[in-house]
Homo-oligomer: A and B are copies of this chain.
Amino acid sequence: MFSHNKRLQYTVRVNECNPGLANLMLEQFGGPQGELAAACRYFTQYLAEDDPGRKDMLIDIATEELSHLEVIGTIVAMLNKGAKGRVAEGVNNAAQLYRDITGGGNDSHLTQVLYGGGPALTNSGGVPWTAAYVDTIGDPSCDLRSNIAAEARAKIIYERLVNCTDDPGVKEALGFLMTREISHQQSFEKALYSMQPNFPPGKLPGVPQFTNVYFNMSIGEGDQRGPWNKEPAFEYREAQVAVDGGDGAASVRIQPEDMQLLKQAATRQQSDPQSDPVTGAMLGKEEGAGLSQKH
């Protein structure tokens, strides 16, 4: 069961309202690398996990991400606080309000007109959060790798946001949130490697003749060799069709009655490669303008 304390995990001191900056911050509130995505990722894993150690870790971190969602959402709310009053009460000067919400690098109309200045579960471009961002698939060796990657991405987005503001209180709170992603990444790394073996993920081994092969699918100036395609880890091969040694074609056994229908459809829909038909485009070309039906 969750409970809540009205004090934040980290004190938020915003120097001045700035709806444009608030919009940027939404990236970590309702964006793909944001805190809701993180909380949902770990919470769904927690529910299905049976290993006691990972289960405990997942809910600890999920709960902390919810608390971070609160911190970043509070930053947005503070940055929008001035705008909120203006939106609620209206102002005498519509032109001014219009400029406020659309002009001067402050493209916050969506946040203000639609959401009334509150933090919205969208990214910084206004796209609503979707669970398509959550890549939990219920295998710990995968999910932990996904978590490691997700923490790394979240760290970078915070770094970019830190670089966009001079407000010391905002910078400090973002710095805290960014740091926690580093810490969480390390926990997930430890959890992954304390499960041995963890590679390849799952149970089925790879087909030996293709497990350590690198295919050079793109040719031309710029071909490079490096540890990702070199011996001893890899056998480097030029791109090749039908690597199985077959004909590279596709086949399927069809029931006779279905075959009959397929043939019928093929006949009905066949193209005539010998024709040179008049087309709609030809009717519409400038020179075709005079073409009209006689009755």
What residue in chain B is nearest A98 (Cβ atoms)?
B164
A36 CB to nearest chain B CB (Å) = 8
Report the bound CA distance from A251 to B7 in whole Å.
12
**B-contact 0/1 string along A163-192, CB 8 Å cutoff:** 111100000100110111011011111111
Contacts of A258 in B (CB 8 A): 17, 81-83, 85-86
Nearest opposing residue in chain B for A107, CB measure: B107
Contacting B at CB under 8 A, from A216-265, are 216-230, 232-234, 239-244, 246-255, 258-262, 264-265
Known: A5-B241, A227-B273. 9 other contacts (CB 8 A): A8-B248, A24-B109, A27-B114, A56-B222, A103-B105, A153-B201, A155-B201, A187-B228, A196-B286
Contact in complex: B215, A53 (CB < 8 Å) = no
* Bound CA span A212–B265, Å: 27
A117:B138 contact, CB within 8 angstroms: yes
- Contact between B248 and A7 (Cβ–Cβ < 8 Å)? yes
User: Contact between A182 and B194 (Cβ–Cβ < 8 Å)?
Assistant: no
Select one of B103, B135, B182, B274 contacting A200, CB under 8 A: B182
Say whether, besides A9-B248, A136-B118, A285-B197, A63 and B3 are in contact (CB < 8 Å).
yes
Whether the Cβ atoms of A2 and B1 lie closer than 8 Å is no
For A128, the chain B residues whose CB sits under 8 A away are 127, 130-132, 134
Q: For residue A50, give the distance in angstroms from its CB to the closest CB of chain B.
A: 5
Q: Which of B51, B86, B234, B254 contacts A271 (CB 8 A)?
A: B51
Inter-subunit contact A203/B109 (CB<8 Å): no
Q: A223: which B residues are within 8 A, CB to CB? A: 6, 56
Q: Chain B residues with Cβ under 8 A from A262's Cβ?
A: 50, 81-82, 84-85
20 A-B residue pairs with Cβ-Cβ distance under 8 Å, sorted by A, are A5-B219, A7-B247, A11-B244, A47-B118, A50-B265, A53-B226, A63-B239, A85-B261, A87-B138, A88-B269, A99-B105, A137-B156, A145-B148, A145-B152, A152-B200, A183-B212, A186-B281, A194-B272, A196-B275, A199-B283
CB-CB under 8 A from A48, the residues of chain B are: 77, 80, 84, 116-119
Q: Are A137 and B157 in contact (CB under 8 A)?
A: yes
CB of B283 within 8 A of CB of A193, answer: yes
A126 and B126 form a contact (CB under 8 A): yes
Q: Are B113 and A166 touching (Cβ within 8 A)?
A: no
Measured between beta carbons, the chain B residues less than 8 angstroms from A278 are 193, 283, 291-293
Do A214 and B115 touch across chains, with their CB atoms under 8 A apart?
no
Distance, CA A211 to CA B84, complexed state (A): 27
Q: How far is the CA of A288 from the CA of B179 in the complex (A)?
A: 20
For A189, give its contact among B32, B102, B272, B279 (CB under 8 Å).
Answer: B279
Contact residues of A between 56 and 82, Cβ < 8 Å to B: 56-57, 59-64, 66-67, 69-70, 73-82
